[in-house]
Chain A
Amino acid sequence: MPYGPAAPPGGAFDPPAGGDWHRVSPRLRWHRRITAVLTALPVALIGAWWVHQGGGALGVVLWLALVAVSCAMAWIVAELAYRSLGYAERAEDLLVTSGVFVRRLVVVPYGRMQLVDVTAGLLERWMGIATVRLHTAAAATDARIPGLPAAEAAQLRDRLAQKGEARSMGL
C-alpha cells in the first residue's frame, strides 16, 4: 500500500516503475507530534491567561478547545505527512515525494546536486533521526527528506555525494 488516504487519482505520485518508495522512520510522526504539543502548550497557557484577563471562564474553555482541536489536526497531519513521504534512487536521479495539502514530486539529477547536507535538531538527535537536504543551483528545487534514521541519513548522503561527484558538470 504505497499511499494512505492521500493517494491522488491516476497515481501520478506513484513510485517509479519497478520499484517502491523508500519510507522514512515512523519516528518522524512522533517528532512532529511532540513538536506540535511543545508549541501548543505555551500558546495554550499564554492565550488562556490573556483571555482570562479580558473575558470569563467560557472564553478560556473555548480557547483551550481550539488549541486541542489544532493539536488533534496536527496529530492526523503527522500521520498523513509520514505516509506521503518517500524517496527512490534511480540510476541517474533521485525522486522525492512529500506533502499533504500540496503534493510534491521532485526529480533531481545527481549531476545537478551542488551539495547535500544532513541536519538534526535537538529533538531529532534525541530521537535518532536526521534530515537530508539536496541543493541544486535552483533554489526552488527544495528536495528534503526528513525523518531518516541517523545512520541511514549518513549513508544516503555519502552515496549521493559520490554519485554527484561522478556526474558533476557545473552549472
Chain B
Amino acid sequence: MNGPYPPPGGPVPGGPPPHGYQPPGYGPAMPPGPPAAPPGYGQMPPARFSAGVHRLHPATALLRAFVFWLIYFVLLGFPLLLTRRGEELVLFAPEAVRRFALVSIPVTVAAVVVGIWGWLALRFWVAGDELVVETGLLRKRRRLIPLSRVQAIDVVRPLMTRLTGLAEVRVEAAGGDRAEICLRYLGRGAAQRLRAELLALAAGLPGHTPEAPEQPFWRVPFGTLFLSLISRLPVAAAGVLFLTALMASLSLLEPGFFSVAVTTLLGLIGSVIAPLVTYGGFTVAISPDGLRLRHGLLETRMQTVPPGRVQAVAIVEPVLWRQRGWARVEATVAGYAGERQALSSVLLPVAPRQVAVALVAQVFPGANVDAVPLLPASAKGLSLDRFAAAGTDDVVFVTRRGLLCRRTEVIAHARAQSVRLTSGPLQRLFGLGTVHVDAPSGPVRVAAIDRDLPEARLIVESTAERARRARAHTRSDPTRWAR
C-alpha cells in the first residue's frame, strides 16, 4: 500500500495524545489529502511534470493583465474620467468618456500583451536531477535548482487566489535569500502534483511515484490556539494596560488616555489576531517525504519539510503556559532566509509538552529530549537564570535557559556545523565559559551558558567527537532519503 516508500517510522509517536487535550478533529477527521481529481483544471490531462516543458496556469496571464490595468486605472484612468466645470468635478462627461476610451483601449491591449508575454516567458521543466526555470523570451535567464538541495516545498494559496482555485509553489533551496523559486500561479491540483513529483524525484524515486501516504500527527484546536495566544505575559500586560487606559479615559475624559488605549488595542490585534489568522487550523502530518504542515485561515499554506532538513529545534514554554503544560516548537530550516524564516519557523504553535517532545523525536530520529540528563549551569556566574542547564546523549545536544519563558533548544550531533567555546571578561573572572553548538541562522541558538572552563573544554571535545561519529554513521547525504 505504501508503494515504493519504506513504511513510515513506527506508530504515531508519543502514543495516544495526553488526556484532556483530545482535540475534536484528531484522527479520522483530518483535512483531506491531495484531492483525487483537480476540478478546476479540467481541460488538461494530469500533466507529468518530470517530462516535457511546462507553463503556469493560463489564468495567470489574465490575472497579471488585470493587476496591470488596475494600477493604470487608479493612477491615470480615474482622473481622466473627471472634468472640472466651474467649481465642481463632474464624472462621465461625454468628452471625458471619449478621452478615457482613447487612452484605455491601447492600455488594455498593452495589459493583455504584458500578461500573455509574462505567461509565455516563464517555462519550467525537470532535467535529470535539476528543476530548471527559464524566464524571458528575448533574453533568456535560466535558474537551475539541484533537487538534492531542496530544503522545503510550500504550496501557498493567498486569499486572492482562493476563489480562483490557483496556488503558488515555492521551492526553497539552501543558499541565502535569493535561493527560492516562486511559481505563481498553478492550478490547485497541478500545484499538489508538482510538489509530490519534486519530492519524489528529490527522494530518488521516479517522478510518477504517487504521493507518499501521510499519517496525521497533531491538530491544534482553535480554542487552544486562542487561549495560548492571550495567555502570554506581554499580551496580558497589554490587556491590563488597555483596560486601565480605557477606564481612565472614560472616567476622566482625557484624550491622552484614549490614544494610549487605541495604541495598545492595535498592538493586541497585531500580537493575537495576526498569529491566529496565520496559524489557525494548524495540522501536522508525517509522511515518508517529511513533515507536512498545513495552516492559515485566510492564506492557506502547506509546507513540506523533507527528512533531515530541520537543523535545530526549540521547545518554548512561556511562563503562563507551563501550568497548563503547553509548549511551542520552533525550528531552523536551512532554506528559509530572512522574512520567510520568521514565517515558517513554527512547527507547532501550541501543544501539550509530550506532543512537542514527540515531534522533536520525529524530526531527529532516536532523540528523546526528556531523557537527556541536564546538568545545571555553574552558580558562580552573574546570570540570574537558574534554569540554565545543558546535557547531551549520543543523538542530540540539549540546552535549557530562560527564567520566565523557558526555551529547551535541541540540535542533533549529525547536524552541528561547528562547536565554539567563548569566554567574556566577566565570565573569565569567575572561570566560566559558554559552549555554542552552531546551526544555520534561525530562531534556534544552542548555547550552554556559564560552564566551568575545564568542563566547557571537555564539552567541546566530546561534542566534536560525537558529531564526528554521528556524521560517520549517516555517511550518505541526507538527500535521496528514499534510496
Contact = CB atoms under 8 A, between A and B. Distances in A.
A25 interface: no
Interface in B420-441: 420-425, 428, 431, 433, 436, 438-441
Contact of B460 (A101, A105, A112, A143): A105
B311 A171 contact: yes
B170 interface: no
Contact of A9 (B431, B461, B468): B431
Contact of A136 (B418, B428, B467, B477): B418
A9 B421 contact: no
B149 A138 contact: no
Nearest to A104: B422
B423 A103 contact: yes
B203 to A, nearest CB: 15
A101 B425 contact: yes
B478 interface: yes
Contacts of A92: 464, 468
Given A8-B428, A10-B431, A170-B477, A104 B420 contact: yes
Interface residues of B, number: 42
Contacts of B438: 136, 138, 140-141
A10 B423 contact: no
B456 interface: yes
A68 B149 CA distance: 54
B417 A107 contact: no
A171 B439 CA distance: 10
A93 B457 CA distance: 15
Nearest to B435: A105
Contacts of B436: 140
B471 A111 contact: yes
A136 B417 CA distance: 6
12 contacts: A8-B428, A8-B431, A10-B457, A13-B423, A92-B464, A99-B422, A138-B417, A139-B440, A140-B445, A170-B477, A171-B151, A171-B311
Interface of A: 8-14, 16, 92-93, 99, 101-109, 111-112, 136-141, 143, 169-171
